[in-house]
Structure 1
Amino acid sequence: MNANDVMKISPIVPVIALDDVKDALPLAKALSEGGINIMEITLRTPAGLKAIEVISKEMPSMHVGAGTVCNNVDLLEAKAVGAKFVFSPGISQELIDSSKKHNMTLIPGVATSSEVMLAQNNGIYNCKLFPATLSGGVDILKAFQGPYSKMNFCPTGGVNLENLNDFISLKNVLCVGGTWIVPKDVIKNGDFNKITQLCIEALKTIK
């Protein structure tokens, strides 16, 4: 899958920081039952890599990738456990070169015009806007449409049920990333039916 394929799997990409590997598979199943078949599991916790490995082996129908991939080591570790793609909070030449060398789909984070240019000049046309609301939100994405007409974005950071459609309605937005459909306390309590309901609610909200 290329980055465009990844960003078209679902209009919502759950951004997940898992504390316990045992929650990985039940969460994947809950998301799938709610109509979402993609997961970005961040490397912010020690359980992240193992969770990606478990899902990639036990539930191949789920498109699972790694988030918070910041350097070449992160990328290689994510690939080794079966991640199908990686999201980064930022963009660097190191990550760009590593993704090409190791044939790993990279969706880097951008927040400024110069970073979008760096992506585009390296043949990358699908990026995460992060942190979305703090870096200008809907307004900056509208501003990017003129000079960067080939670029597509996945705004992440501050996206929620209330502003979801403001982002999704933009022609250069393919999907959004969010944590609100995977609350940490709900996962910790093992209430995976609640996760499924949050997914259904969010997808129904999209106009």
Structure 2
Amino acid sequence: MRNPTPFIQKMDQAGIMPIFFNPNETICLKLLEAAYEGGIRVIEMVNRGKEAPSIFPALRKMADQMPGLSLGIGTIYHTWEAEIFLDMGTEFIVAPVMNPKLGEYCQKTETPWIPGCGTVSEVFFAQELGAELVKIYPANVLTPEFVKAVHAVLPKVEIIPTGGVEPTAESIKTWFDAGVLCVGMGSQLFKKELIAKRAFTEIKETIADALAIIEAIKN
């Protein structure tokens, strides 16, 4: 860890931050349950549907019964969106972009903020605004080489790649070898066909396997 604050320690221990959303509240709850049972301790629900604000409180209620689990909200662009979900109990904010106003708001409210960055300059400005962890997105476009380039000039910043990271030893090891703190995964963990079949046990097993890969890499 380059920046061992409590939030960074939590993310380091988590290894994976799953990213999910479904317009059906029951399915969202089942996905949260499967992720937790698979070993996940940090998870991000994305704000990508009109149903998200009404579903999040139910997830918050379930998460409160899951010791050690941190629940955050993603796909947040503006301060007013962050305020809505902070009132509902989100523990951290994830953004697909680097919006300075959102960063200032999160800094003021002492809320962990993970902005999406695609250039070294964006990473620098995010760090200046108090971001302890930045998301490089889309990771499949930026590649692990971008992580190395960032750390060459900003050695203390922590990075999580999302978008294109696969739950395989080859993919995950490439990112950790480049120096990321943890990885974010969405559809690779929560496959549409498994959700359609309500195959939550298979989803749990996919997650557990991915976490086992990370544990082996770290050790």
Fold-level match, TM-score > 0.5? yes
Runs of 4+ in 1 over 6 A off after TM superposition: none
| Distance of 1:64 and 1:185 partners within structure 2 | 25
Indicate the SS of the match to 1:25: helix
Between the aligned partners of 2:63 and 2:82, the Cα distance in structure 1 is 21
Matches within 5 A, 1:104-119: 104-119=111-126
One-letter code aligned to 2:149: A
* TM-score under structure 2 length normalisation: 0.87
1:110/1:2 Cα in 2 relative to 1: closer, same or farther (>3 Å)? farther
CA deviation map 1:116-149 (0-9, x unaligned): 1101222323111111121x21001011111100
Deviation at 1:83, TM superposition (A): 1.0
Q: Which runs of 5+ in 2 are unaligned?
A: none
State the percentage of identical aligned residues: 26
Q: List runs of 5+ in structure 1 lacking aligned partners.
A: none
C-alpha distance in 2, partners of 1:132/1:147? 19
Aligned residues: CA RMSD: 1.7
Write the letter of the residue equivalent to 1:13: M
> What TM-score do you get using the length of structure 1 for normalisation?
0.91
Q: How far apart are residue 9 of structure 1 and its match?
A: 4.1
Q: Secondary structure at the match of 2:14?
A: coil
Provide the C-alpha distance between the structure 2 equivalents of 1:65 and 1:118, rounded to a whole number of angstroms.
Answer: 22
Once residues 37 and 123 of structure 1 are traced to their aligned partners in structure 2, the CA distance between those partners, rounded to angstroms, is: 23
Cα 1:83–1:43 change in 2 (3 A) is same
The 1:205/1:2 distance shift into structure 2, 3 A limit, reads closer
Letter in 1 for 2:159: F
**Secondary structure, counterpart of 2:45 in structure 1:** strand
Amino acid at match of 1:40: E
Secondary structure of the 1:187 match is helix
Aligned to 2:127: 120
- Residue 148 of structure 2: aligned partner: 142
Equivalences, count:
205
| 2:33 is the counterpart of 1:26 | no
SS in 1 for 2:73: strand
1:11 paired residue among 12, 15, 19: 15
SS in 2 for 1:146: helix
Alignment-mate amino acid for residue 19 of structure 1: P
Give the one of 110, 114, 120 matched to 1:103.
110
One-letter amino acid of the structure 1 residue matched with residue 166 of structure 2 = N
SS in 2 for 1:49: helix
How big is the shift at 1:204? Answer: 2.1
Tell me if the contact between 2:17 and 2:183 (Cα under 8 Å) persists in the aligned partners. yes
- Corresponding residue for residue 47 of structure 1: 51
The one of 132, 137, 152 aligned to 1:130 = 137
More helix by share: 2
SS at match of 1:8: helix
Deviation at 1:92, TM superposition (A): 1.4
Give 1:57 deviation, angstroms.
1.4
